[in-house]
Amino acid sequence: MSSRQLMVNLTLRELRTKYKRTALGWAWSLLNPLAIMVIFTLVFRVFLKIEPPTGSPSGLKNFPLFLLCGLLPWTFLVNATNGSINSLVTNANLIKKSYFPRDLLVASQVVAWLISLAIEMSLLTLVFLIMGNFNLLYLPVVVLVMLALAVFLAGLSLALSAANVYFRDVQHFVGILFQIWFYLTPVLYPVSEVPDRARSLYGLNPMVGFVEAFRDCLYHVRLPSFARLGSLLLVSVFSFVVGLWVFNRMEGRLAEEL
Amino acid sequence: MVVDGVSKRFRLYHERNQSLKATVMRKRRSVVEEFWALRDVSLEIPAGITFGLVGENGSGKSTLMKCITKILRPDAGSVTVNGKASALLELGAGFHPELSGRENIFLNGSILGLSRKELDRRLDDIVDFAGLHQFIDQPVKNYSSGMYVRLGFSVAINVDPDVLLVDEVLAVGDEIFQRRCQEKFIDLKDAGKTIVLVTHDLAAVTNLCDEAACLENGRLKVVDSARRVVDQYMNSMQDEGPAVEHESNGDRWGSGEGRIEHAELLGADGAPVTRPRSGQALTFRFHYQLDQPIDRPVFGMAVHTLDGTYLTGPNTRYTDCVPDRLEGRGHVDLHLDRLLLLPGTYDLTAVIYDYSCVHPYDHRHRAFRFNVDPGELRETHGMVSLGGHWSGPLPTRPRHQSG
């Protein structure tokens, strides 16, 4: 299939050019989350004294590791979505001058950032392993949740990137939306801090489920509930179907609107 | 390939706002005027022929190409293409400047629909054709624009499509590369590929194409053999062409006893022509005004190309057409059986000198400008034809069709 080939090549292009002409190269992919981790740990753990929960049953109590379980999926969301939104605009010339399935531009962004996430998660897993806080049986679950997250983000990115071609406000709007969304997601604090009466409303944020699932596997070393995994898969498929529908509707006039 | 009733509408935005706020405030996206770039165009292009598409700027040629290649979605009608279509719309459009030539070949090739295996097989051909062995592992941002375009062309043409769409891109690269492109083009033609060529180079249409169509304001005007379409297109251009012979700011010198008032171009029938054709009978007419009697005046003219090359300078003395004495108003004509200038724009000089051709009465240097359109004379190389005819073990052709 040539479109699969194109997908591979677009993703390779993304990966190859991401850190081209930087002295540190791919190290940046790790330095970014590490820097944020250090800053957040200083601000929220050292100065503001936020307590990480004790892992149950793992018994681990470590703020940076607790933070990273949520921070890595969150940066994946930000990078993949912003990358997709920009990809249609920066590839305007390609879209106007040749025909190929345009959703591959978005898909390649998501996959390229998924590969980044996979590298980061592998290193994080390694750290947990070294600390003796891991059960390899949960590794497939982590992979499954990562894939579900990627599918969820693909849907979101498809819809937002197509909308951005018509309304360039989308990219600015998304910047603010992500700020709010970040604090509505339990990256810096445990879900237990959320007041009980707000909990059900809070749970409507799909990112809560994703972050909690990662934390269950890596930090607490327990299996996420099947209800949680099931709802994540459902949300992913729903987002993907809606995103694809929106994108296909808007795709026809991309070349003239760009 | 069948194009069936294709229409394409563009929206012209008067108050284009790509912002949500304005949209909400006005309850609509913008004030829109519709513009039909294509109106109900139906064409059938049989497999294996080379098809030319001509028309003025903005007549919808490129829009039609983009509808055929699915870049644009027509608002009505449909396009059916049998086999793989590859478009040479813009060369190297998908190149990433930071990636090497080789990496870009794979990227661009897969955009054009080639699999990795096919690309591996053709990589050498592509690099050979572009002539970029030394630089293939360099990032393309270091390429010269010529190298960039050559690589783009090379990838696109080596896709080995069943249908090749070419939009004004044959004239890329240096002369050697151009010749290679032309050869490849002929190879594809001989291999029975369907080629659609959009160009303003009418000579290329007559030389390369079997059939052609002419678009005007988004509507299909005529579909016929390439030669007839080009003829008809040129005739229609003639009617609305700009004034051919306007006076430019050439130098003028001379003692002034006699003056060249103006110059005209006349056709075989004696009527003024605005755009003479190469190979056509033509008369240059110079209107003079002599205020006092002048002994043995010599009338002459010269033709220069725009870059200043002096092509020819006939005068009445060479042919012994010099009157003993002349006064008053009148005109002299130079008759050509066939205009041997090839298509292009030329400057015309008109002069009156004394018999020695040393003293100018009036010298209007490159004062008039005229265009020559392609015509019966089908030569395209150089600036003038020698007007000869070939013989030998060759089929005989009418004398006026040299070339």
Q: B43-58 burial by CB neighbour count: b if 16+ within 10 A, else e?
A: bebeeebbbbbbbbee
CA distance B87 to chain A (A): 7
Tell me which chain A residue has its CA closest to the CA of residue B118: A2
What does the pLDDT read at residue B402? 41
User: Is B72 at the interface with chain A, CB within 8 A?
Assistant: yes
Q: Which residue has the higher pLDDT, B367 or A77?
A: A77
d(CA B332, CA B362): 15
**Contacting B residues, span 109-128, partner chain A, CB-CB under 8 Å:** 110-116
> Which one of A16, A95, A176, A256 makes the best mutation probe of the B interface by having the most chain B beta carbons within 10 Å?
A256
Closest CA to B164 of B61, B110, B86, B111: B86
The angle, 0 to 180 degrees and rounded to 10, between the axes of the packed helices A103-130 and A2-18 is 60
- Check whether B155 has a pLDDT greater than 70: yes
Q: Kindly list the residues from chain A whose CB atom is less than 8 angstroms away from the CB atom of residue B23.
A: 167
DSSP B190: H
DSSP B256: -
Note the pLDDT tens digit of each residue in A133-190. 888 889 999 999 999 999 999 999 999 999 999 888 999 999 999 999 999 999 999 9
Closest CA to B206 of B2, B375, B16, B365: B375
User: Is A6 at the interface with chain B, CB within 8 A?
Assistant: yes
- Check whether B241 has a pLDDT greater than 60: no
Ranges A54-68, A110-124, B262-276, B328-342: which has the least confidence: B262-276
Tell me which chain A residue has its CA closest to the CA of residue B69: A99
Question: Taking CB atoms and an 8 Å limit, are A168 and B18 in contact across chains?
Answer: yes
d(CA A169, CA A185): 24
Of the candidates B10, B21, B93, the beta carbon closest to that of A97 is on B93
Note the pLDDT tens digit of each residue in B337-390. 999 998 888 889 999 999 998 999 999 988 888 888 888 887 878 889 998 888
Of the candidates A20, A96, A173, the beta carbon closest to that of B98 is on A20
Question: Taking CB atoms and an 8 Å limit, are A167 and B18 in contact across chains?
Answer: yes
Ranges A120-134, B130-144, B244-258: which has the least confidence: B244-258
C-alpha of B247 from chain center? 24
- Check whether B210 has a pLDDT greater than 80: yes
Q: Which residue has the higher pLDDT, B223 or A238?
A: A238
Q: Kindly list the residues from chain A whose CB atom is less than 8 angstroms away from the CB atom of residue B66.
A: 255
User: Is A255 at the interface with chain B, CB within 8 A?
Assistant: yes
Of the candidates B89, B98, B106, the beta carbon closest to that of A9 is on B106
What does the pLDDT read at residue A28? 84
Q: Kindly list the residues from chain B whose CB atom is less than 8 angstroms away from the CB atom of residue A168.
A: 18-19
User: Is B399 at the interface with chain A, CB within 8 A?
Assistant: no
Question: Taking CB atoms and an 8 Å limit, are B110 and A166 in contact across chains?
Answer: no
User: Is B107 at the interface with chain A, CB within 8 A?
Assistant: yes
In the structure, what pLDDT confidence band is assigned to residue B245 with cuts at 50, 70 and 90? low
What does the pLDDT read at residue B323? 92
The full set of domains in chain B, from first to last, is 1-83+162-167+188-240 (3.40.50.300), 248-372 (2.70.50.60)
Question: Taking CB atoms and an 8 Å limit, are A2 and B69 in contact across chains?
Answer: no
Q: Kindly list the residues from chain A whose CB atom is less than 8 angstroms away from the CB atom of residue B87.
A: 98-99
What does the pLDDT read at residue B18? 59
Query: Which is it for strands B258-266 and B282-295: parallel, antiparallel or unpaired?
Result: antiparallel
Q: Kindly list the residues from chain A whose CB atom is less than 8 angstroms away from the CB atom of residue B96.
A: 13, 17
User: Is A5 at the interface with chain B, CB within 8 A?
Assistant: yes
Q: How is residue B42 written in tokens?
A: 């139906």
Which stretches does DSSP call E strand in A44-172? none
Note the pLDDT tens digit of each residue in B295-349. 999 999 999 988 888 999 999 999 998 999 999 999 999 999 999 998 888 889 9
- Check whether B244 has a pLDDT greater than 50: no
Q: Which residue has the higher pLDDT, A242 or B193?
A: A242
Question: Taking CB atoms and an 8 Å limit, are B111 and A100 in contact across chains?
Answer: yes
Question: Taking CB atoms and an 8 Å limit, are B103 and A168 in contact across chains?
Answer: no
Of the candidates B111, B114, B116, the beta carbon closest to that of A98 is on B111
How many CA atoms does the CB half-sphere of A227 hold within 13 Å?
1
What does the pLDDT read at residue B243? 40
In the structure, what pLDDT confidence band is assigned to residue B240 with cuts at 50, 70 and 90? very low
Number of domains in chain A: 1
- What is the side-by-side order of every strand in the sheet holding B76-80? B32-44, B2-13, B76-80
What does the pLDDT read at residue B27? 58
The angle, 0 to 180 degrees and rounded to 10, between the axes of the packed helices A206-215 and A226-251 is 130
Mean pLDDT (whole number) for B260-268 = 88
What does the pLDDT read at residue B338? 92
Note the pLDDT tens digit of each residue in B7-56. 888 877 765 555 666 666 665 555 677 888 899 999 899 988 899 998 88
Q: Where are the alpha helices (DSSP H) in B27-94?
A: 61-68
What does the pLDDT read at residue B169? 61
What does the pLDDT read at residue A145? 97
Q: Kindly list the residues from chain B whose CB atom is less than 8 angstroms away from the CB atom of residue A88.
A: none
Longest dimension (CA), chain B: 86
Q: How is residue B211 written in tokens?
A: 């059939």
CA distance B113 to chain A (A): 6
> Which one of B20, B29, B149 makes the best mutation probe of the A interface by having the most chain A beta carbons within 10 Å?
B20
What does the pLDDT read at residue B397? 59
Tell me which chain A residue has its CA closest to the CA of residue B98: A17
User: Terminus-to-terminus CA distance in chain A, angstroms?
Assistant: 28
* Mean pLDDT over each residue of chain B, to the nearest integer: 83
Q: Kindly list the residues from chain A whose CB atom is less than 8 angstroms away from the CB atom of residue B93.
A: 93-94, 96-98
Percent of chain B with pLDDT over 90: 20
Note the pLDDT tens digit of each residue in A40-59. 999 999 999 888 998 888 88
Question: Taking CB atoms and an 8 Å limit, are A256 and B107 in contact across chains?
Answer: no
User: Is B159 at the interface with chain A, CB within 8 A?
Assistant: no
Q: Which residue has the higher pLDDT, A153 or A14?
A: A153
d(CA A210, CA A233): 10
What does the pLDDT read at residue B238? 58
Structural domain boundaries, residue A97: 2-257
CB-defined contacts A:B, below 8 A: 83
> Helix, strand or coil for residue A42?
helix
What does the pLDDT read at residue B242? 41
Contacts of B252 (CB under 8 A, 6+ apart): B362, B363, B364, B365, B367
Q: A129-154 burial by CB neighbour count: b if 16+ within 10 A, else e?
A: eeeebbeeebbebbebbbebbbbbbb
Question: Taking CB atoms and an 8 Å limit, are A17 and B98 in contact across chains?
Answer: yes
| Interface ipTM | 0.77
Ranges A172-176, B51-55, B62-66, B206-210: which has the least confidence: B206-210
With the CA atoms of B211, B216, B220 and B225 taken in that order, what torsion angle do they form, in degrees rounded to the nearest 10? -20
How many CA atoms does the CB half-sphere of A5 hold within 13 Å?
18
Q: Kindly list the residues from chain B whose CB atom is less than 8 angstroms away from the CB atom of residue A1.
A: 115
Ranges A1-10, A69-78, A246-255, B308-317: which has the least confidence: A1-10
User: Is A51 at the interface with chain B, CB within 8 A?
Assistant: no
User: Is A19 at the interface with chain B, CB within 8 A?
Assistant: no
Question: Taking CB atoms and an 8 Å limit, are A10 and B107 in contact across chains?
Answer: yes
CA distance A248 to chain B (A): 12
Q: Where are the alpha helices (DSSP H) in B56-100?
A: 61-68
Question: Taking CB atoms and an 8 Å limit, are A97 and B73 in contact across chains?
Answer: no
In the structure, what pLDDT confidence band is assigned to residue A19 with cuts at 50, 70 and 90? confident
> Which H/E stretch holds residue B383?
none
User: Is A176 at the interface with chain B, CB within 8 A?
Assistant: no
Contact A80, A210 (CB under 8 A): no
Contact B217, B73 (CB under 8 A): no
Question: Taking CB atoms and an 8 Å limit, are A2 and B20 in contact across chains?
Answer: no
Contact B91, B169 (CB under 8 A): yes
Question: Taking CB atoms and an 8 Å limit, are A255 and B99 in contact across chains?
Answer: no
